[in-house]
Structure 1
Amino acid sequence: MELRQTTFSFASILDNDFYKFTMQQGVVRLFPGAKARYKFINRGKHSFPVGFSEALRHAVNEMASLKLSPEEKKFLQITCPYLDPVYLDLLEGFRYNPEEVQIYQRGDQLEVKIEGFWYRTILWEVPLMSLICELYYKLSRTIRVNDEEVINITRSKIEAYHNLGVTVAEFGTRRRYGYNVHRLVLQALKQYGAGTFIGTSNVHLAMLYQTKPIGTHAHEWFMFHAARYGFKMANAIGLEHWVEVYRGDLGIALSDTYTSEVFFKQFDKMYSKLFDGVRHDSGDALLFGDKVISHYKRLGIDPRTKTIIFSDGLNYDKVARIESHFRDKIGISFGIGTNLTNDVGPEPMNIVIKMTDAHPQDGEWTEVVKLSDEQSKYTGSENMINLAKTILSIE
């Protein structure tokens, strides 16, 4: 198979998760001189075929031609009024710089590193992961179910969620089987998910299928704040800065960058009232939800006025168990990713790209870590993880 036949171009600069753009606006406004480093982590120990790095390099180079179209800019202006004109003008002039991405292959193992100004490099993670997945399946010559079956599988899932009485957003850009499958999934969700399907994290597909782009911030927002302000202040100042930028919009807080136990000690009454709710991304979902309910009750806040967005490796059985446990106790919604966009035959990839180091404008390069409620999702060196656990009194 020739290299040219195994590469492809992204359809749009907006073919990315919404929280990348919302965080980018925050970075532009608050930390324009900051720099960041990211690294590809092959959690699933996948073996990459010969020539994979060259194919990925070619695809990454092609991304330099992407730019925001007038129609896309208008969509963002109308749909996302909290994205200010200065930021949208910057995004209109933004171009990917492939030199920020280093790609190596040693045998069957892939290495990818990213480095540059944070406001620029923040956009690489999601499309790079999408490229890696799609190229992996193409170069490995995997066979998926046909288009009609993709639609039927998605229809059966969204109708089952409808029967549960829950709302579902699609969060599957990063580990999708491929762009065409992703479009088929959105087509089916839009067609058959009335009253249940509420939006997608993918901004390009939200525009294409006239639905809501969904997202707020990711772990890297708090990881950078730890490098800039220290582990003890990362959550509190990260939340404070989010409020400073969005003034009450985009009010779902991510809770597990340094364990949810640490987060809720700092998620005081002001933030608990101001934010609409929290997102669950690691650990036992039922224990987490019970903890959230107790937290709100302890502060005199009715949990039924708040929402938990569950987004950790969900499928129908997990959603049904969560819905049954929390029915009428607290608002719940679900962000479902890989189970929607990569359930077409071949095994989904288990890969991530995470920030490894941050360089505040007036600081120095500092290693960053993530301490999820699930130890298998920890990222960072053992020394820095142990230091963070010591400082934060995490056993």
Structure 2
Amino acid sequence: MLSSKVILNSLLDNDFYKFTMQHAVTKLFPKAKARYEFINRGQHAFPSGFAQVLRESINNMGALQLSKVEKEYLAQTCPYLDPTYLDFLQGYRYDPDEVSIEQNGPDLSVKIAGYWYRTILWEVPIMSLISELFYKMNNLVGANDEEIINTAKSKIEHYAQLGVTIAEFGTRRRHSYHTHKLVVEALKAYGGQSFIGTSNVHLAMQYQTKPIGTHAHEWFMFHAAKYGFKMANRLGLEHWAQVYRGDLGIALSDTYTTKVFFSSFDKMFAKLFDGVRHDSGDPLVFADQTISHYQSKGIDPKSKTIIFSDSLNYEKVARISNYCQDKIGMSFGIGTNFTNDVNLPPMNIVLKMTEAHPDDAQWTPVVKLSDVRGKYTGDPKMIALSKEILGIKD
């Protein structure tokens, strides 16, 4: 059983926005704490002994450290990351004691707790371990290497024919690290101008493509815990701009619904940020809302970009591309459909921040509302309170 463990080989085998958020947290909220919890949306049944093997894989992460070459890569590629942060990251080590794991029959519990600047890096690699171990321990054999490469090649060539740009966002629910590498290698080899990068920093470095990402829902969720729901979007954007001064300018819009977000996304933010990311709800409705919002601020929508990233496949991308053509800039981030298309059902799992502890406050439940009720996460009472405060009606 112990031979089933999965070993991660790089501290940078993680989504880029985890590092950009960690950089901001170390600057602005170094005393804040956070708690995260695994959510098994797909009700997957985990095999006997899964928790033990996951525990060993996570324990092995304690040995990961940023290499000198990786540090130099970040310094050259991401000049907006402070040298002090890169020094910190070079000294950072995962602490497996921050992660608790339990298994009760087929049910798996994973919880993370500690200082936010430390725990923020756990989510993506733990999810990738859970996904890879699930297939491995259930003896689920998918496509072979040639099939994986050919599938990725065919997809990126079809996207190139649409004339759209594509980034790979599939670390957290990948079939395996090996599959992920094959996919990025194929996208780089056959994507031409259409493939613009990956959210995985390790693979971006390995295949000399751009690391892509800005911030995630937890950035705004923490701001709600510290400043209240009404100020979460505005102060989240202000603090992001304070740290990055115009770099990393794609704003995530749906933590508390797009309608609420745009009420805070005033002319200053609309001009400062390069665009917005769509992650839930009808993409065409979102496009109309975004275009209308920019027009209402006297801004040409074609000077801005929407990054679409919600469960995309070729059909959805083609529909969105056709609809948005000549109306607004667009690009697409595709995750599971790239890294877990191996003739096996992909997992439906998430690992979300559940509570935040600002340094001058107390433990506070955090929630994400999104533009789809089924994607709400968090304490039901806090969800109800947030909706009341923000005037959100179903």
Q: When the two structures are superposed, what TM-score results if normalisation uses the length of structure 1?
A: 0.99
Partner of residue 197, structure 1: 195
Structure 1 residue corresponding to 2:300, chosen from 302, 305, 324: 302
Partner of residue 17, structure 2: 19
Please state whether the residue corresponding to 1:48 is helix, strand or coil: coil
Structure 2 residue corresponding to 1:177, chosen from 172, 175, 178: 175
Please state whether the residue corresponding to 2:210 is helix, strand or coil: coil
Partner of residue 50, structure 1: 48
Partner of residue 392, structure 2: 394
CA-CA distance at 1:188 after TM superposition: 0.2
The equivalences for 1:233-244 within 5 A come to: 233-244=231-242
Percent identity for Structure 1 against Structure 2: 67
Measure, in 2, the Cα distance between the counterparts of 1:52 and 1:324. 45
1:327-374 Cα deviation digits (max 9, x unpaired): 010000000000000001110000000000000011110000000001
Partner of residue 269, structure 2: 271
Measure, in 2, the Cα distance between the counterparts of 1:194 and 1:320. 18
1:266-310 Cα deviation digits (max 9, x unpaired): 100000000000000000000000100000001100000000000
Measure, in 2, the Cα distance between the counterparts of 1:146 and 1:240. 47
CA-CA distance at 1:11 after TM superposition: 1.2
1:306-331 Cα deviation digits (max 9, x unpaired): 00000000000000000000001000
Partner of residue 105, structure 2: 107
CA-CA distance at 1:386 after TM superposition: 0.4
Partner of residue 355, structure 1: 353
RMSD after superposition: 0.4
Partner of residue 143, structure 1: 141
The equivalences for 1:51-130 within 5 A come to: 51-130=49-128
Measure, in 2, the Cα distance between the counterparts of 1:149 and 1:371. 38
Partner of residue 245, structure 1: 243
Partner of residue 344, structure 1: 342
Structure 1: state its 5+ residue gaps. none
Structure 2: state its 5+ residue gaps. none
Partner of residue 326, structure 2: 328
CA-CA distance at 1:205 after TM superposition: 0.1
Measure, in 2, the Cα distance between the counterparts of 1:185 and 1:222. 31
1:211-262 Cα deviation digits (max 9, x unpaired): 0000000000000000000000000000000000000000000000000000
Q: When the two structures are superposed, what TM-score results if normalisation uses the length of structure 2?
A: 0.99
CA-CA distance at 1:8 after TM superposition: 2.1
The one-letter code sitting in structure 2 at the alignment partner of 1:379 is: T
Measure, in 2, the Cα distance between the counterparts of 1:148 and 1:9. 24
1:78-129 Cα deviation digits (max 9, x unpaired): 0000001000000000000000000000110000000000000000000000
Please state whether the residue corresponding to 1:309 is helix, strand or coil: strand
CA-CA distance at 1:381 after TM superposition: 1.4
CA-CA distance at 1:41 after TM superposition: 0.2
Measure, in 2, the Cα distance between the counterparts of 1:95 and 1:249. 27
CA-CA distance at 1:50 after TM superposition: 0.3
The one-letter code sitting in structure 2 at the alignment partner of 1:36 is: A
Partner of residue 159, structure 1: 157
CA-CA distance at 1:388 after TM superposition: 0.1
Count of matched residue positions in the alignment of Structure 1 and Structure 2? 393
Measure, in 2, the Cα distance between the counterparts of 1:8 and 1:323. 38
The one-letter code sitting in structure 1 at the alignment partner of 2:240 is: W
Measure, in 2, the Cα distance between the counterparts of 1:222 and 1:115. 18
CA-CA distance at 1:9 after TM superposition: 1.2
| Consecutive aligned runs of 4 or more in structure 1 exceeding 4 Å deviation | none
Please state whether the residue corresponding to 2:154 is helix, strand or coil: helix
